[in-house]
Amino acid sequence: MRGALALTARAQAMSFWSMSLQSYADTSLSDQQPDLMSAALANIRARIDAAARRAGRDPQTVTLVAVSKTHGPDAVAAARRAGQSVFGENKVQEALTKFLPLRDEADPPTLHLIGGLQTNKAREAVRVADVIESLDRPRLADALALAAEKEKRLPRLLVQVNVGDEPQKSGIPTREADSFIEMCRHRFGDALCGVMGIPPADVDPDPYFLWLAAAAARHGLPVISMGMSGDFEQAIANGATHVRIGTAIFGARPRPSAAEHSSPSVPDGGYL
């Protein structure tokens, strides 16, 4: 039943865009579409508030991470003008291009890196990100520790757990999660502040959300990043502190170029 509700919520989110944002299928957001951006963000924020209140929670305890992956700086600027301050990116190079120039502003946006992270990108990730949500293996922990020492900067870190133990997804396997979290807590201290996970598609996400929330509770971690466009209300009911939403805010992702089609991809943190 809840799986069906999640699919219904996904359909509702997409229908909002199909009525008024057909042009998003081919283009990124431009400066000529501020009203659409404001409406999209207001729609998502209202649903977050309602979901939190149904769960007996203060809506202020839920942070919206607007996933701007593949959308250009204009889209980020439009979202910021509409009051959005927390963003998510999957790829380090794209994050550097869009967000590093904003670092010296008086009130810069907060950037979460949510995509699978290669060890050779660790230093650049540490340089640009405020939060890295995809810490999922000891070698990456080593690389981030070394990068933090060199950069004199340590972002907040979340352990990504492969809650469905799916071979195609990033994340530490569930059977190894507790020991890995403990190791990271010992190594990074309070900078290790939470967990992130993505349930398998087309199933009831509740058991996976519950597992992730329980893992956070076992280790005293305050941040639980879970929930996307189709299931964020269920995630909030199960304790999510951060929800990652892209398409329902920015519209369809721009089509990749031929070069992007041919380049190797890194497993990402996922969003809809």
131-183 pLDDT, tens digit each: 999 999 999 999 999 999 999 999 999 999 999 999 999 999 999 999 999 99
* pLDDT value of position 127: 97
For 112: left if phi > 0, alpha if psi spans -120 to 50, otherwise beta; the answer is beta
The mean pLDDT value for 109-131 works out to: 98
What is residue 86's three-state secondary structure?
strand
Residue 207: Cβ within 10 Å count: 14
Q: State the number of CA atoms in the 13 A half-sphere of 211 facing the CB.
A: 20
The tens digit of pLDDT for each residue in 185-243 reads: 999 999 999 999 999 999 999 999 999 999 999 999 999 999 999 999 999 999 999 99
Helices (H), 26-137: 34-54, 73-81, 92-99, 122-128
Q: Among 11-20, 49-58, 62-71, 109-118, name the one with the lowest average pLDDT.
A: 11-20
In whole angstroms, what is the distance from residue 168 CA to residue 112 CA? 22
Helices then strands, each counted (H, E), the chain: 11, 9
Confidence of residue 253 (pLDDT cuts 50, 70, 90): confident
Confidence of residue 51 (pLDDT cuts 50, 70, 90): very high
Per the DSSP assignment, residues forming a β-bridge with 88 are: 67, 112
E strand or H helix at 192: strand 192-197
* pLDDT value of position 36: 86
Whether the predicted pLDDT of 49 surpasses 60? yes
Tell me what percent of the residues of the chain surpass a pLDDT of 70: 81
Q: With contact defined as beta carbons under 8 Å apart, do 272 and 228 qualify?
A: yes
What is residue 193's three-state secondary structure?
strand
50 versus 256: the higher-pLDDT residue is 50
The mean pLDDT value for 263-270 works out to: 41
pLDDT, averaged across the chain: 87
Show the domains of the chain with their CATH numbers: 56-250 (3.20.20.10)
Q: Among 5-19, 94-108, 235-249, name the one with the lowest average pLDDT.
A: 5-19
Q: What is the reported pTM?
A: 0.84
